[in-house]
């Protein structure tokens, strides 16, 4: 049975949600005992903004605030319930990922249940935001600016509603390969081609062979997307490095944004150059792992910071502030291009990694080393600078 790409995405989402929930349990439990966190809560929340977008059993946690009047997910109020919910839902996410991986029918029908739950929870959150935030926002900023501010505030809820709807439609139309909820089966792949008045590719006609066009393997096509996405990100970084004259045309008293970001641009250019070099001809595990790490970090940060950047640039302000922001517009547009390229690179590298894994030609150790490479180099460089 050939599974759809959607099932692979749902497996990754369920696995990531389960691991993140169990890690959050360890993080919160240590804070309750020793009053310190393994990682800051803002970092875990940033990861959840990306991992939690897909429908998974983690949607069950959204139902708990509607079952009682107390904030049940706050450790200072009910720590036993809080930690129990984290463990149980995390194990459900891992079980769902295992069931989808093993082609279990119960896992497919369970996902059909979790998608409406996630949709209803996000719809309830969006409805509450409209009732509570919309009147005050439009009154304070006016209708156009208020609408932009509200859309920025509700961007994650709107995106999750769209993703839930798309996943439900894809599953109903046959998102489990040759098995679908609607009961339809996909046509056989090896069925004989019907004969007709015109020769088909690969068919013998009058003792002559009609050459069939070469069919490109999906893993090579996905790897090409990874390569060109890395090239696009590298090009955006080079333009950001060379954008000092327009960005520095601001008053001397302005905060030196370019000077603070230049080392990061150079550091990122090294990694995207390595990704493009390792994936220029065929999928390579180290390059794919490196692409996943770089694109995941940039996508998680860009999901939060990019809308804030553009809201600040396009708001009406004083003539002095307008002169300053005008010099930063090229930097802002290049940053948006860089973030969008990383979104494409993230999904393309994940899909290529999965297709290369099915081929079984290389060990996953190289992928893990590539994923850890940018974080290890960042820690080493920071240690050298601080020593």
Note the pLDDT tens digit of each residue in 241-259.
887 644 444 455 555 666 7
> Which pLDDT band, with edges at 50, 70 and 90, does 307 fall under?
low
> Which pLDDT band, with edges at 50, 70 and 90, does 230 fall under?
very high
DSSP output for 74-105: -TTT-HHHHHHHHHHHHHHHHHHHHHHHTT-H
The most confident of the ranges 147-156, 190-199, 265-274 is 265-274
Q: Is 0.85 surpassed by the pTM of this model?
A: no
Share of the chain above pLDDT 90, in %: 9
Q: Is the pLDDT of residue 42 over 60?
A: yes
Q: Is the pLDDT of residue 117 over 60?
A: yes
* 324 burial type by CB count under 10 A (0-12 exposed, 13-18 middle, 19+ buried): middle
Other CB atoms within 10 A of residue 241 CB: 15
Q: Is the pLDDT of residue 43 over 90?
A: no
Report the C-alpha gap between 386 and 192 in whole angstroms: 68
Q: Is the pLDDT of residue 78 over 80?
A: no
* Best CA proximity match to 116, nearest among 173, 62, 73: 62
Report the C-alpha gap between 315 and 306 in whole angstroms: 15
pLDDT in tens, 354-384: 888 766 555 678 888 888 888 888 878 776 7
- Averaged pLDDT, 273-288: 89
Domain boundaries of the chain, sorted by first residue: 5-174, 218-386
- Averaged pLDDT, 286-302: 86
- Who wins on pLDDT, 316 or 47? 47
Give the pLDDT score at 91: 92
Give 141's contacts (C-beta < 8 A, 6+ positions apart). Answer: 149
Give the pLDDT score at 69: 47
Give the pLDDT score at 92: 92
Lowest mean pLDDT among 134-143, 170-179, 232-241: 170-179
Q: Is the pLDDT of residue 166 over 70?
A: yes
Identify the H or E element spanning 192: none
DSSP output for 208-277: EE-PPPPPPPHHHHHHHHHHHHHHHHHHHHHHHHT-HHHHT-S-TTS--HHHHHHHHHHHHHHHHHHHHH
Give the pLDDT score at 325: 56
Q: Is the pLDDT of residue 197 over 60?
A: no
Identify the H or E element spanning 186: none
Give the pLDDT score at 14: 92
């Amino acid at each position: 049975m050939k599974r759809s790409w959607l099932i692979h995405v749902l497996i990754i989402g369920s696995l990531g949600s389960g691991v993140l929930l169990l890690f959050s349990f360890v993080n919160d439990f240590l804070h309750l005992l020793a009053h310190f966190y393994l990682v800051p809560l803002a970092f875990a929340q940033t990861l959840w903004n990306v991992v939690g977008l897909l429908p998974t059993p983690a949607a069950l946690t959204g139902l708990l605030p509607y079952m009682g009047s107390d904030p049940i997910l706050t450790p200072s109020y009910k720590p036993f319930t809080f930690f129990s919910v984290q463990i149980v839902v995390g194990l459900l996410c891992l079980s769902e990922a295992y069931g989808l991986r093993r082609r279990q029918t119960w896992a497919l029908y369970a996902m059909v249940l979790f998608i409406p739950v996630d949709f209803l929870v996000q719809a309830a959150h969006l409805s509450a935001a409209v009732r509570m935030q919309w009147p005050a926002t439009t009154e304070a900023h006016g209708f156009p600016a208020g609408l932009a501010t509200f859309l920025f505030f509700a961007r994650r809820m709107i995106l999750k509603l769209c993703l839930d709807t798309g996943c439900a439609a894809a599953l109903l139309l046959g998102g489990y390969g040759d098995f679908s909820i609607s009961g339809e089966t996909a046509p056989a792949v090896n069925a004989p081609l019907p004969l007709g008045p015109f020769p088909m590719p690969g068919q013998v006609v009058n003792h002559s062979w009609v050459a069939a066009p070469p069919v490109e393997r999906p893993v090579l096509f996905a790897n090409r997307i990874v390569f060109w996405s890395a090239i696009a990100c590298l090009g955006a970084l080079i333009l950001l490095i060379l954008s000092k004259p327009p960005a520095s045309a601001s008053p001397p008293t302005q905060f030196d944004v370019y000077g603070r970001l230049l080392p990061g641009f150079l550091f990122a250019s090294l990694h995207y150059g390595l990704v493009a070099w390792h994936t220029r001809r065929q999928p390579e595990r180290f390059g794919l792992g490196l692409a996943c790490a770089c694109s995941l970090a940039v996508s998680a940060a860009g999901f939060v910071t990019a809308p804030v950047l553009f809201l600040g640039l396009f708001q009406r302000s004083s003539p002095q502030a307008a002169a300053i922001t005008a010099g930063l517009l090229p930097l802002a547009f290049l940053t948006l291009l860089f973030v969008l390229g990383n979104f494409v690179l993230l999904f393309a590298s994940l899909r290529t990694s999965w297709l290369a894994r099915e081929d079984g030609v290389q060990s996953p150790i190289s992928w893990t080393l590539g994923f850890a490479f940018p974080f290890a180099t960042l820690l080493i460089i920071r240690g050298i600078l601080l020593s």
